Structure 1
Amino acid sequence: MSMKMMTTGFALAGVLALAACSDAPAAENEDAGAQEQGAEAGAASPEEGAEGEQPELPEADTSDIPEVVAEVNEEEISGEDFTVLYESQFQQMAMQSQMTGEEPDQDQLKDQTLESMIGNELLLQDAQEEGYEASQEEIDALIADAAETAGMGSSEEFIEAYEEQGMDGEQLTQDAENQVLINQVLAQLEVPEPSEEELREVYDEAVAAQEEAGGAEGAEGEDAAEMPSFEEAREDLESQAVDQARNEAALDHVEDLRSDAEIQTHL
């Protein structure tokens, strides 16, 4: 299984992404605050020089990546595929580090990346064992969605750009098929409907976070966007709660699959 799909918008089932989503509300607030602080401090930062130049991004260290990073039920995960995903994840973290000033922890990110790949492999194997099938229509739709997410006008344009990066268009189609199968597994997981109490709790936390951010900003906080009422925010709150529950169910399912799997890692 090639994990190049993780860099093309197909990583809907990535365990790394799911784990991050489980903490999304707090993380988004922290990231937003860090970005604002970085923007405010950026112009005056002595490290950027008189011209306001951004410091150089750190480079991903892939010198220690073996040819095979893991075996999942005797299915190999190659170091080449790992490197593609790891470099993509590292680039995102390196860009964030420019705003936060915190150097990416490469060892931790490598562990998280490998766990993501193992989780996806387990989900794909589960789909195959359950006999799920991906139709050409579903595959085409997923590629079209990825093209739209990437800001391209058509699937053909998206595939051409993929191939221009030295990658195989046929592999892209295979990756899309794999992701359709994984999505079918996730769609079968039972996700409870959020209760009124849970929605109220999420809303109250959001209100408290906004008030705290406004108080920290002082006078500038008066320009902050006004918090919508509970009823106005209800639809978004329900969507957020369902996504949270779906993420948790997916993580639990991966853990169940992992408990019965034979996994060897080599990082």
Structure 2
Amino acid sequence: MLQKKWFLSMALVASLSFMTGCSATAEPEAAPASSSAAVEAAPSDAASPTPDLTGVPEIVATVNGEEITKADFTRIYEGQFAQVLQQAQLSGEELDQEQLRKQTAEGLVNTELLIQQAAKKKVFATSKDLDAALGDVAKSNDMDSKEFLAAMDAQGLNEDAVRAQLKTQLEVERLIAKEVGDFRPSEKETKAAYQVVLDQFKKQSATDKDAPKAPSYKTMKVELEQQLKLQKEAAAVKDYVAVLRKDAKVTMNM
């Protein structure tokens, strides 16, 4: 399965969705709740719940006249659902889909506000920027650009759609960096987050002698930095979006 961290839907929207109620991002200094390595170690459950889209309207919300459709919501929700379900299974908590639907809708509204603000501030990504970003995304998936685009096309996103997603992501990220700031974690913070992961693996090893060993710090460093950066950004962007919402015309239909 392709990594989708590069999608606005799987990174920025994730942070914007959960900054209103999820403890995983409530405190900027908190370590990531889980890592991909830890998730892979989680027990499988043949009876795992599936995304429930019951009652989702065709138009989820409008933001200054721009519609957020059910199709938009579904794509985001399904990706969010998979991630949150994995975390819930690891922690032994029950997944509240009603809350997740509300958080996802709020995240989409907040993201749309940022998209509109980027356009207002004339924050643009060039074709050269998109080529570079596409190359980075492909490389992160162990592919070249052509292979990556073919794989995405097989999942229903043609090259134009992929570039549109990348353009939006780049422009909003640049807006955030310009208006809010850059939140790269320190080495001390990253190592503290890694210690949390080590403790998770130790707990698992205490009850399961066949449990996998924790990945090395070097292996996990980039992922931990990305997660910490998102957490820090979420806290700062929350205040910025709140200001944008004061002057925005938002209609929620959920």
Given the two structures, how large is their TM-score scaled by the length of structure 2?
Answer: 0.71
Change (3 A) 1:180 1:58: same
The residue number in structure 1 matching 2:15 is 17
Change (3 A) 1:166 1:190: closer
Q: Residue type of the partner of 2:15?
A: A
The residue number in structure 1 matching 2:238 is 251
Secondary structure of the structure 2 residue equivalent to 1:188: helix
The residue number in structure 2 matching 1:178 is 168
Secondary structure of the structure 2 residue equivalent to 1:60: coil
Contact 2:34 2:197 in 1 (8 A): no
Query: Which of 139, 146, 153 in structure 2 is aligned with 1:156?
Result: 146
Q: Which has the larger radius of gyration?
A: 1
Change (3 A) 1:208 1:169: closer
Secondary structure of the structure 2 residue equivalent to 1:76: strand
Secondary structure of the structure 1 residue equivalent to 2:142: coil
CA apart distance, 1:71? 0.1
Q: Give RMSD over aligned pairs.
A: 4.2
Is 1:136 paired with 2:132? no
Q: Residue type of the partner of 1:16?
A: A
Q: How does 1:1-267 map to 2 (within 5 A)?
A: 7=4, 9-11=6-8, 14-17=12-15, 19=19, 20-21=24-25, 23=27, 26=30, 28=32, 31=34, 54-149=45-140, 151-191=141-181, 245-267=232-254
Secondary structure of the structure 2 residue equivalent to 1:264: strand
Give CA deviations for 1:111-136 in whole Å, capped at 9, x if unaligned: 11111111111111001111222200
Q: List alignment gaps of at least 5 residues for structure 1.
A: 1-5, 43-52, 229-236
Q: For the residues of structure 2 that align with 1:146 and 1:216, how far apart are their CA atoms?
A: 34
After alignment, is 56-65 or 202-211 more displaced? 202-211
After alignment, is 155-164 or 80-89 more displaced? 155-164
Identity of aligned residues (%): 31
CA apart distance, 1:176? 1.3
Q: For the residues of structure 2 that align with 1:63 and 1:240, how far apart are their CA atoms?
A: 31
Give CA deviations for 1:76-107 in whole Å, capped at 9, x if unaligned: 01101110110111122223344334331111
Secondary structure of the structure 2 residue equivalent to 1:70: strand
The residue number in structure 2 matching 1:3 is none
| More contact order relative to length (CA 8 Å, sep ≥ 6) | 2
The residue number in structure 2 matching 1:47 is none
Q: For the residues of structure 1 that align with 2:126 and 2:53, how far apart are their CA atoms?
A: 36
CA apart distance, 1:247? 3.6
Q: For the residues of structure 1 that align with 2:231 and 2:88, how far apart are their CA atoms?
A: 26
After alignment, is 69-78 or 8-17 more displaced? 8-17
Q: For the residues of structure 1 that align with 2:34 and 2:29, how far apart are their CA atoms?
A: 10
CA apart distance, 1:162? 1.1
Contact 1:13 1:120 in 2 (8 A): no
Change (3 A) 1:184 1:57: same
